[in-house]
Amino acid sequence: MAQVNPTVGDLEGNCGIVVEHARRAAEAGAHLVVFPEMMVTGYPVEDLALRRTFVDASIEAVHALAGRLSSEGLGELPVAVGYLSRRRGAATTALGQPVGAPQNAVALLHRGRAVFTSAKHHLPNYGVFDEFRHFVPGDVLPVVRLHGIDTAFVVCEDLWQDGGPVAAVRESGATLLVVLNGSPYERDKGDARLELCARRAREADVALAYVNMVGGQDELVFDGDSLVVDAAGDLVARAPRFEEALLVADLELPGAEGPGMWGAAAEADGITIERHLISDSPLPPYRPLPNPVAPRPDDLGEVYAALVLATRDYVRKNRFPSVILGLSGGIDSALTATIAADALGPERVHGVLMPSRYSSDHSVSDAEELVRRQGINGRTVAVGPMIEAFEKAVEIDGLAAENLQARVRGQLLMTLSNQEGHLVLTTGNKSELASGYSTLYGDSAGGFAPIKDVWKTLVWELARWRNAEAERLGRTPPIPEESITKPPSAELRPGQLDTDSLPDYQILDALLDDYVGTDLGRAELVAAGHHPELVDRVIRMVDRAEYKRRQYPPGPKISKRNFGRDRRLPITNRSTV
């Protein structure tokens, strides 16, 4: 099971990953190697699926990959890959179907050809998924006899939904079910994958191998966590999370009963079972290797790993040489800088201190201390003269004067980005984004927002976790303690604190999570124990800030409902319920 990190659109590079890991699998003695969902194209491809030339290129790449595997001496090893295909014979597109009838498909490559191609049946259309828009469903369960073992193949959502191909597995007589996945990470999911795999294995009376991709793709981050369970649902092997791995597992499986009906098709609950033969003879006995079971990180450790991986891949896959961010001495910029340094190395992180007349001495010293502790590149640019130039040209006061400072800082970072080629990291958290507590074209300016989906209370938890992890390893904590313990402030006016404009973050985040995370209405929020006046105030803040969120940079999704693909509300909106 090749838990790898493809890049959307990089067909040549992704096929190279397949060849490399197929060779490693062959050297390890594997008899079958499986790659994730949409491996050849990367996932999700979104509207690239509607581009006929891209679908054609994906299909051609799979045929070329089959030939390349054979020519490089790997043709005897069956290789299952996900790719973008189209429904057979789809000359035209029916009304209401995506253009070109594209399909989220799997092919099994062997001896220079595809033994079968099959398409995902259940198309998810919730949360971050929009597959009704991009694909048409398949209706086939492929079953391949390999070394006398009947093995069935399905794709991701087919495992999660009742019915469909998985429901036909038991009737097919297969004793191994292989599932190709592009399943993104989200916090508080528990061990839902293992529980699901165990349940499906028991239902179908099969061993089940679940391979998942790893890596960041825009808002999404895939955590790997590939696993194998036996027919009783017991865990056999498991890959690590948030890193690439080749999981090699030895399984003892019952052989197929009776002669196969090769090429014949049988119907089961609307699914066609197609049978294919690679080899009927069982393997000679051999000594199995111990099956690895990787430990799982704790809750905060997995969240932090997700943010680091997402940031690294966004920078790497979009070919930015380095990142730049503003350092205020506060907790948000400190955590963002730490994530960036862990993702890219401190030498590729540039922090800019931009003190103004309202910046406290400890804010400057805390930012300087963070630069010293982490070894990132630091510089100081005083923004006071730039602000004064604006104030001489235009008479402003109040909120406009406060926002001017943030916009001057944002403009400075974007200018340095243009001049030096850095990607600007935005340092705002989810609580600020929800409540509109940010300045458009100021502190919201940038190209990627690592903590966009992190509530303020979680920001503090992650900072403490990261420091504790450094101490556990005998290293200097990367974040100054003062940045964690001092009251948060935008420092845009004398003595300003976040609590001047916002409730205490413990109270605010709980209310925001109920309103944003689960879509509770006003009456439901009050019934859940939130104060009615605060509910009205927070609803107004969240709804009025929708236009700001539409202009915010992307950031990694870690929650069940992020601002972005998960939550799509109208900007013009007078709803009060």
Question: For the residues 467-482, what does the mean pLDDT come to?
Answer: 94
**CA-wise closest residue to 103 among 117, 116, 87, 90:** 87
Distance CA 230, CA 238 (A): 12
Nearest 10 degrees: Cα torsion 169, 172, 177, 181: -60
User: Would you tell me how many other CB atoms lie within 10 Å of the CB of residue 352?
Assistant: 22
- CA–CA distance, 150 with 170 (Å, rounded to integer): 11
**Is 305 within 8 Å of 466 (Cβ atoms)?**
no
Contact 213, 182 (CB under 8 A): yes
State yes or no: pLDDT of 492 exceeds 60: no
> 519 with 568: CB under 8 angstroms?
no
Mean pLDDT of 433-449: 91
pLDDT at 251: 95
**pLDDT for the residue 62:** 97
- Secondary element (H or E) of residue 169: helix 164-172
Q: What three-state secondary structure class fits 340?
A: helix
Strand partners, 361: none
- Active-site residue, selected from the candidate residues 15, 131, 156, 432: 156
- Identify the CA nearest to 468 among candidates 454, 482, 478: 478
User: Is the separation of the CB atoms in 58 and 84 below 8 Å?
Assistant: yes
Best CA proximity match to 425, nearest among 460, 451, 404: 451
> Quick one: pLDDT at residue 498?
66
Average pLDDT over residues 152-163: 92
- β-strand partners of 32: none
Given a cut of 70, whether residue 57 has pLDDT beyond it is yes
Where is 63: in which H helix or E strand?
helix 52-71
Q: Cβ(379)–Cβ(352) under 8 Å? A: yes
Cα 457 from chain centroid? 22
Q: What is the residue-averaged pLDDT of the chain?
A: 91
How much is the pLDDT for 239?
A: 97
* pLDDT mean over 98-108: 92
Can you give the pLDDT at residue 212?
97
Average pLDDT, integer, range 100-111: 95
DSSP structure class, residue 248:
-
Active site residue 156: yes
Q: How confident is the model at residue 361 (pLDDT cuts 50, 70, 90)?
A: low
3-state helix, strand, coil in the chain (%, to 5): 40, 20, 45
**Mean pLDDT score, 263-271:** 78
Lowest pLDDT segment from 309-323, 344-358, 466-480: 344-358
pLDDT confidence tier of residue 355, bands split at 50, 70 and 90 = confident
91 falls in which pLDDT band (50, 70, 90)? low
> Three-state SS across 496-539?
CCHHHCCCCHHHHHHHHHHHHHCCCCHHHHHHCCCCHHHHHHHH
Tokens of 445: 């300016």
- For CA atoms 86, 88, 91, 93, the dihedral sign is negative
Active site residue 469: no
pLDDT digits (tens, 9 = 90+) for 161-200: 888 888 999 888 899 999 999 999 999 877 899 999 999 9
Query: Quick one: DSSP state of residue 314?
Result: H
Task: Write down the pLDDT at residue 489.
Answer: 65
Question: Which DSSP string corresponds to 173-207?
Answer: T-SEEEEEE--B--TT-TTHHHHHHHHHHHHHTSE
Q: Is the preceding omega at residue 44 within 30 degrees of 0, hence cis?
A: yes
Secondary structure E strands in 147-278? 149-155, 176-181, 207-212, 214-217, 220-223, 227-229, 235-238, 245-246, 265-268, 271-277
Give the separation between CA 117 and CA 83, rounded to whole angstroms: 10
Q: Annotate 36-69 with b (16+ C-beta within 10 A) or e (fewer).
A: bbbbbbbbbbeebbbeeebbebbbebbeebbebb
Report the C-alpha gap between 175 and 161 in whole angstroms. Answer: 20
For the residues 137-158, what does the mean pLDDT come to?
Answer: 94
**So what's the pLDDT on residue 100?**
86
Beta pairing partners, 117? 107
Whose CA is closest to 221, among 123, 304, 337, 335? 304
What pLDDT does residue 398 have?
85
Catalytic residue selected from 12, 15, 27, 37: 37
Enumerate long-range contacts of 45-52, CB under 8 Å, 24 or more apart: 45/8, 45/9, 45/84, 45/134, 46/130, 46/134, 47/133, 47/134, 48/8, 48/9, 48/84, 49/84, 49/98, 49/102, 49/134, 49/135, 50/98, 50/99, 50/100, 50/102, 50/134, 52/99, 52/100
Q: Of the residues 120, 317, 548, 557, which is catalytic?
A: 120
Q: What's 3-46 look like in SS3?
A: ECCCCCCCHHHHHHHHHHHHHHHHHCCCCCEECCCCCCCCCCCH
Residues in CB range of 95: below 8 A, 6 or more apart: none
Per-residue pLDDT band for 116 (boundaries 50, 70, 90) equals very high
Query: Residue 360 above 70 pLDDT?
Result: no
